[in-house]
Structure 1
Amino acid sequence: MLSIRPRALSSVLSALVFGIAFEAFATEPPHIALDIIYDEQARRVHIEAKTTLSESASRFYLSKASTIETLDPAPGITIKESYDAHVFSLRNGEQEATIRLTYSLSLPRPNQLGSSAESSGRIDWSGTSTNAFLPGSRLWYPFFNQPSTVRLRVKTVAELRAIAPGLPITHMEEDGYAVSIFDMSKPILGVDLMIGHWLVQQKVMTGMEEKILLQTYFNEENADIAKEYLDLCERYILFYEKLIGPYPYSSFTVVSSPHPAGLGMPSLTYISEKILKYPFIKNQSLPHEIVHNWWGNGVRVDYELGNWSEGLTTYMADYWQVALTSENAAKEMRYGWLRNYASISDEDEESLQAFTSRHHTASSTIGYGKAAMVFHMLRNTIGNKPFINCLREFWLEYQYKSASFHDIRDTCQNHTNSDLTLFFDTWISTVDAPTLDTNLTQSSPTNHQLTVNQNGNWAYPLELEISGDSNKIKLTKMIRGEETTFVIPIGATKSTEIKLDPNFNVWRHLYATELVGTIRDFIAAKKPIYIQLTSNIQNSADIISTYFLEDMIQNKYGPNFTNPKKQPTIIVADITNITEHLNTSDNANEINHLMPLSGTDLVMASTYIGGTATLLIGISESISAKDLSILISRARHYGRYSWLKVVKSGRTEKGKWSIREKIFSY
């Protein structure tokens, strides 16, 4: 959820976010010294910067939104203008030149265009009298288009604190102002600066190689959970040090954000203050951000060959922590990845090689879900211990360097006798997924020949459950190519039942019996049809388009529309009418879980009616347009569920329809 790269706003920034044009990394990275003063009343940032251009770091960029006030360049530097940046370059033939400049930036208010948190979770720059955020993506400091070491000195009024990635060196009062100094001795690509009114708590833990400073910068409402977060950070860091290797930084800080979104960056995570107390933040999002310090920050991504870090981090953090507590919960998470995949359109699907960052539901499904499942299949292919040893070697070899899926492949190849070329080639560069089928014939009195067919050449281990008249066997076979045949010893039987991948360990298309409706199906639906059955409730089409869907509602119909093309359909009515439609749905035998609906402000259920994917939305007659907008917006966070209802007290209930197994019978 939270590991979100800053918003792409320019061609230069595209290089930062997507890795299209990184310059060669220098043996000695460029160093930048920044002296910053934040004027909270004017929302203006005053900056003095000093850095050195060299043959290996010959150019930097500074946002055109900055007003340059003084400039002390060496003779060997030229300054040009691009569309959105001042471009400072070393003259041809020069070996080195140092520059010092002062400039200032005005920050927009958070509610102004270009400074809000999007539904994708990205946060743009903004400032108020009590907080400010400057993302590195805005080129607010000299950006070399390659990792740099940075030292920041930040001055604010005494009531405010500054925080940035890197090690906090000191915090002191000076002439009635607060001064904070940070040292980023490990090269960093993109520096984010946060300023706010926080209560700071600290803890020093003993890491594998050095002491690690843990910090919380929490608003007053979350101060009571600071100790819990410090203890959780220590627990997760110790766990992943044993699993991967030494933690790569000298500190880790959790910062409460006034924005309704979150960010991850080296040694720091910035999380909405409204959700810090939620269990999923503590149990999944927090370890996710901590693991990113190894994958994505410690080992950077070679984006030309796809972003592997989100999938590996999701697998090692979100999934690994769930699997430690419950195999059933881990199976449910794997099913969730496949179910999300079933809800995206062919036109929105991309390969892992093409994925760079999350920008809508489909990209998240591929870059996080599919990639995590690929690492799960890799682990099942080479074995648990070789997989862990591969990750440890990968960390030792590539820390503070850029790496690709190919580098992961080559490293894992050192830990298995199986040729991993086909595995990586079929999963990284392709779209689509296996659709599995079987054929069973008796080859001898005691054996049967089983053929597994798929619609491509994907390679993976496939788990099978085979039941005869009186015996049942479980086995795993490596699938390669469109057809794989092997012998199974089940003897002579009158009937045989076969289940393929019953525990959802393969990235594949789900069978129709395995598909259950989810709310996410409609968040990402293409050109959904809208039908409002009753006029005694809010006209909801515009609200649903604005606050819930990724694709706008284009066609609105009355209650008698028959939908011959069976396009995804949203049916809106009062609670009584929606209850009647629930009784005609494919999940009618399960709607008792939603009952009673009296006293309900909103009910939402994703199901099928007459073979058409249908989202039923029941709305209380008394609910206002404003309150409905809030409830519809919140519903996006329940995408993996089949249904939810919000009662008048504000309590939300949610659930999932039952999954039916696919059984091949012979």
Structure 2
Amino acid sequence: MILIRLLTICAVLILAWTAQASAATSNANSTILLQHQLKLKIDLAATRLSVVDQLRFSTNTTETWQFSLSERFNIEPNPNLALVKHENGFKYYQAKQAAFTLSYSAQLQSTPDCAWLTQACVQFDSKGIYLDANSQWYPTTSQALHTFELTAELPKDWVSLSQGEQVSATWQETQPQQAIYFLAGPFKVYSEPGKYATAQVYLQAADDELAKKYLSATHQYLEVYSKQLGAYPYRKFATVESFWETGWGMPSFTLLGSKVMRLPFILSSSFPHEILHNWWGNSVYVDSSQGNWSEGLTAYLADYQMSAGKGEAMNYRRDTVQKYANFTSNFQDFPLKNFQSRHDQTTQAIGYGKSLMLFHMLRQQLGTTAFEKGLQTLYQDYAFKTASFADLQTVFEKVSGQHLQAFFQQWLERTGAPQLALGEHPHIEKNGGTQLNLTLKQTQAGEPYQLRLPVIASFKDGKTETQWLDFNTSQQSFKLNYAQKPVAIGIDPEFEVLRIPELGEVPAALNVLYKAKPKTFVIARQVPAGMELAWEEAITAFSRGDKPKQRYDDAPLPDEGIVILLGGDNTALTGLLERAQQPFKLSETAYTLNSVNYTCGLHSLALSLTAGKQQVVLLDASTPEALQQ
């Protein structure tokens, strides 16, 4: 049987919590605290920022201390300071006193196209201002947390935004923060007090209907998560129309691009994710020396639960394990404990996907009541402190009474995931019912995992029965008793466990292009003018460093591996489509899907299908530019 899935190519948005460079990374719950009284003067004509910071350093470890500042800033002469070193774009100073006033200034240049994964993004012009810890515009030191008061002299008709609460013209944040943010610009501000916090919207131009939607959604999600986890940790939550097409989550606000925030699905998908980060990541901080746990937990409690509310929980888990299997391999995979932040599909599959499944399996093992009690305890004990995976383990052991060392160790420290196989499974009639003698195998390399595996029996009357098996060895037999004879048995059919799925368990998907398995590229002998180089570049990109296997479309297809057909006029596709009983047809002039014609040359095509145990992808585009998109 051949299964076909036709995918429409579109921009994929992934919103992100911004893990700032100043975050504590190796010493959970550091006692270092920097208290700032910041006064900012803005000169847009000269693109100059001048800062006066009345600074106090609090610690119980030393009387002298060092701090760093971006090399762009010139510090006015100060007898309390000595320059220690200048490297990697920063200047490091030794301070002789724990409290003093620091004056400094710099010309700042905007980054018009913000590649936030690889650069410090700055906005400083007539459109507005954005500064975060990555541009290191304020003094900081390793493992420090910050409290602050911030006042800025703004251009006429401008407003500002930072963490905390605005009192007159000053922003105040008394809870220790990992970073200090500053935004300003000619925004139209909407504000609406609520039971849990004030909801705000900052727009570059007035849009009452859009603001109303975000204000309402903010109150809705603050209520949901406050009831589930504990009181929202800030006085406000603001949605800000960004200077870039971003989706960033910061303490007490989020930055969404103009196009992003108007996408119809954002309010019910990515927006709650950013609000939830105010519990995980922006108040309970991440000690990432042992792995970043907040992305997986936030994705599980926000994105996954939103899907579950629509009846799509199983599909979400299936897609998660499928992406993990496709985007990781022996040479790309790494332990979850080493995940810091997302920068490609592999890190996302591990840091978001594998981590999400860890929390799902933990919930299954502990039960929902103990799991949610653990979340509440984690928030209560670690708000405005750093927490590691080890701290999470301690909390969940405390509330559940279970020993979780083996559970966390196998999912944090090992690469890969279990691979399951079905052994012998005879059944006998016994005492008026049926006994199934089921043998299961773990076939992955290395030691077997300790798994709680659901087995679901289906019966003639439509009913089902689920039994959970403790499956801890490479091969294990189980005796399962049923009152009536099952018509089907499913081994984890709803993907409750992170594992490498069999090909027939998951739908065809384009992400097999990135899978680290042998690929054969089949190219037409007659290639349209101008496309030869484009197809060669595509082959190089999808080979992922391996030597590609190529053949022409009039040669026999291989029997194994991934087959990638390049070009809609690829004759090798004809036989595959004839075998596929799907509503898709391809002619010389058009693609037809569900009786709708798409003219060749005006539309690009990305088609993924499964032929037996083989994965096949067809790519077609009329121009190199269309192929790149």
The two structures share one fold, judged by TM-score above 0.5: yes
Report the AA paired with residue 608 of structure 2.
Answer: S
Q: Residues 110 and 121 of structure 2 are in contact (CA less than 8 Å); yes or no, is this contact kept in structure 1?
A: no
Residue of structure 2 in register with 1:333 after alignment: 316
Offset of 1:391 from its aligned partner? 0.9
Moved more, 198-207 or 599-608: 599-608
Please point out which of 33, 36, 40 is paired with 2:37: 33
- Provide Cα deviations, 1:516-557, integer angstroms capped at 9, x if missing partner: 221233256679666553533652765975999795898595
CA distance in 2, matches of 1:394, 1:54: 26
SS in 2 for 1:279: coil
- The 5 Å alignment of 1:453-492 reads 453-455=441-443, 456-467=447-458, 474-482=465-473, 483-490=475-482
Between the aligned partners of 2:100 and 2:36, the Cα distance in structure 1 is 11
* Correspondence for 2:174: 185
Amino acid at match of 1:409: Q
Tell whether 2:198 aligns with 1:213: yes
Q: 1:62 aligns with which of 56, 59, 69?
A: 69
How far is 1:502 from its partner? 1.3
- Counterpart AA for 2:372: I
Paired residue secondary structure (1:411): helix
The question of whether the paired residues in 2 share the 8 Å contact of 1:53 and 1:90 is answered with no
Percent sequence identity is: 24
Pair 131,539 (structure 1): closer, same or farther in 2 beyond 3 Å: farther
TM-score with structure 2 length normalisation?
A: 0.84
The 1:312/1:41 distance shift into structure 2, 3 A limit, reads: same
> Gaps (5+ residues) in structure 2?
1-13, 585-592
TM-score in terms of structure 1 length: 0.80
Relative to structure 2, which stretch is displaced further, 482-491 or 230-239? 482-491
Offset of residue 170 of structure 1: 3.2
Q: 2:208 and 2:229 mapped to 1: Cα distance? A: 31
Worse overlay, 53-62 or 511-520: 53-62
Alignment of 1:598 with 2:587, yes or no, is no
Work out the CA distance in 2 between the residues paired with 1:255 and 1:23: 31
Letter in 1 for 2:94: S
Does 2:489 correspond to 1:514? no
Superposed, 1:44-83 pairs within 5 Å as 44-56=48-60, 58-66=65-73, 68-74=74-80, 79-83=84-88
1:11-50: per-residue Cα shift (whole Å, max 9, x none)?
Answer: xx4xx46x544586227x2112222233334433332233
Partners of 2:519 and 2:125 in 1: CA distance: 40
Q: How far apart are 1:444 and its partner, in Å?
A: 7.8
Rounded to whole Å, the distance in 2 between the matches of 1:555 and 1:450 is 42
Structure 1 residues 541 and 386 mapped into 2: Cα distance closer, same or farther (>3 Å)? farther
| 2:370 corresponds to 1:379 | no
Please give the alpha-carbon distance, in whole angstroms, between the structure 1 residues aligned to 2:429 and 2:611. Answer: 46
Structural mapping, 1:101-500, within 5 Å: 101-111=103-113, 116-117=114-115, 124-145=121-142, 146-171=144-169, 181-207=170-196, 212-220=197-205, 223-324=208-309, 326-327=310-311, 329-346=312-329, 347-438=331-422, 439-442=424-427, 445-446=430-431, 447-455=435-443, 456-467=447-458, 474-482=465-473, 483-490=475-482, 497-500=488-491
Post-superposition offset of 1:515 = 2.9
Looking at structure 2, the residues matched to 155 and 6 of structure 1 have their Cα atoms a distance apart, in angstroms, of 28
Instruction: Indicate how the Cα distance of structure 1 residues 226 and 286 shifts in structure 2: closer, same or farther if over 3 A, else same.
Output: same
Q: 1:468 to 1:314 in 2, by over 3 A?
A: closer
Tell me whether 458-467 or 553-562 shows the greater mean CA deviation.
553-562
CA displacement 1:616-653 (0-9 Å, x = unmatched): 12224xxx655x26xx43xxxxxxxxxxxxxxxxxxxx
1:440 to 1:567, Cα distance in 2 relative to 1, 3 A: closer
Could you say if the C-alpha distance between residues 124 and 563 of structure 1 is closer, same or farther in structure 2, counting changes exceeding 3 Å?
Answer: farther
SS of equivalent to 1:589: coil
What do residues 564-589 of structure 1 show as CA deviations (whole Å, max 9, x unaligned)?
A: 69665543325xx2697276159832
Query: Is contact 1:338–1:507 with CA below 8 Å preserved after alignment?
Result: yes
Match of 2:10 in 1: none
Any conservation in 2 of the 1:311–1:370 contact (CA below 8 Å)? yes
**What's the offset of the Cα at 1:254?**
0.7
Cα deviation code 1:308-332 (max 9, x no counterpart): 11111011111112222x22x1111
Shift of 1:472: 6.7
User: Is the Cα–Cα contact under 8 Å of residues 545 and 553 in structure 1 kept in the other structure?
Assistant: no
Deviation at 1:161, TM superposition (A): 3.3
Residues 509, 608 of structure 2: 8 Å contact kept? yes
1:73 and 1:375 map into 2 onto residues whose CA distance is 52
Deviates more, 1:286-295 or 1:560-569: 560-569
Q: 1:442 to 1:23 in 2, by over 3 A?
A: closer
Whole-angstrom distance in 1 between the partners of 2:387 and 2:253: 22
Residues 6 and 136 in structure 1, CA contact (< 8 A), matched pair in contact too: no
1:374-424: CA deviation from partner (whole Å, max 9, x where unpaired): 111111111111111111111111111111222222222233344322222
Shifted more, 607-616 versus 431-440: the winner is 607-616
User: Structure 1: how far apart are the matches of 2:263 and 2:366?
Assistant: 36
Kept in 2, the 8 Å contact 1:603–1:619? The answer is yes
Letter of the structure 2 residue corresponding to residue 452 of structure 1 = L
Q: How many residues align?
A: 590
1:184 Cα deviation from its structure 2 partner:
2.1
Aligned to 2:9: none
Counterpart amino acid of 1:72? N
Contact 2:522–2:551, Cα closer than 8 Å, also in 1:
yes
Change (3 A) 1:547 1:386: farther
Which sits farther off after the overlay, 46-55 or 259-268?
Answer: 46-55
Q: 1:125 is aligned with what amino acid?
A: V
Q: Is the 8 A contact 1:300 1:401 kept in 2?
A: yes
Residues 60-112 of structure 1: per-residue CA shift (max 9 Å, x gap): 2101132x15133426x554323321112245xx6x2424122213214414x
How far does the alpha carbon of each residue in 1:445-484 deviate from its partner, in whole angstroms, 9 at most, with x for none?
A: 3433323322443334322123578997522324241244
Q: Is the 8 A contact 2:557 2:572 kept in 1?
A: no
Larger RCO, structure (CA 8 Å, separation 6 or more): 2
Q: For 1:141-197, what per-residue CA distance to the aligned partner results, in whole angstroms no more than 9, with x for missing partners?
A: 1122321112222233224433222223335xxxxxxxxx32222111122333333
Asked if the contact 2:565/2:573 (under 8 Å) is kept, the reply is: no
